[in-house]
Amino acid sequence: MKNILVLCTGNSCRSQMAHGYLNLFTNGKASVYSAGIETHGLNPGAVAIMKEDGIDISNHTSNHVDEYTAIDFDYIITVCDHANENCPFIPSKNALRLHHNFYDPSKVIGTDEEKHEAFFKARNEIKAYCENFANTYL
């Protein structure tokens, strides 16, 4: 069983969506964890947009990366530049570190429709990335 860590700034939005899709696409071949270099709680927009695609992340928790120091990760995926640039040392022996900067839909200011579209776009990009990751590495 492989261990995957998805790391973001606040573990509230992008990393949570990736966590949900990696759980789906790894088909039980991996244990998926998500964390932040800070914790901001679950973003309601992320929860709602994932639910629209049939994935319930409402029971996820916002975790700090320090909670997982005892886990030997096979893959560490950073999903924003801030987390990639400020990622603390994670003591995994041979972890493959991957990075993709997904824009943050929670920063969009506008109408409810514009915010929804931002979450929809981010979700679909994250979904495609996670599916490709699972097909490539697992």
% of the chain exceeding 90 in pLDDT: 87
Average pLDDT (67-79) is: 94
Phi-psi region for residue 89, left (φ > 0), alpha (ψ -120 to 50) or beta? Answer: beta
Whole-angstrom distance, CA of residue 123 vs CA of residue 130:
10
What's the total number of domains in the chain?
1
Q: Please tell me the predicted confidence (pLDDT) of residue 44.
A: 97
pLDDT above 90: residue 130: yes
User: How many H helices and E strands in the chain?
Assistant: 4, 4
| Mean pLDDT of the chain, nearest integer | 94
Catalytic residues: 8, 80, 87
Q: Enumerate residues 6+ apart whose C-beta is below 8 A from 51.
A: 58
- Whole-angstrom Cα distance, residue 68 to residue 98? 18
* pLDDT, position 100: 96
* pLDDT digit string, tens, across residues 8-61: 999 999 999 999 999 999 999 999 999 999 999 999 999 999 999 999 999 999
Which CATH number belongs to the domain containing residue 123 in this structure?
3.40.50.2300
Write out the residue range of the structural domain in which residue 102 sits. Answer: 2-137
The DSSP output letter for 88 is: P
Q: Which among 14, 17, 64 has a CA at the least distance from the CA of 37?
A: 64
The SS3 call for residue 9 is coil
pLDDT average, residue stretch 62-80: 94
**Half-sphere exposure (CA, 13 Å, Cβ side) for 43?**
23
CA 74 to chain centre: 16
Per-residue tokens: 79: 């999903």
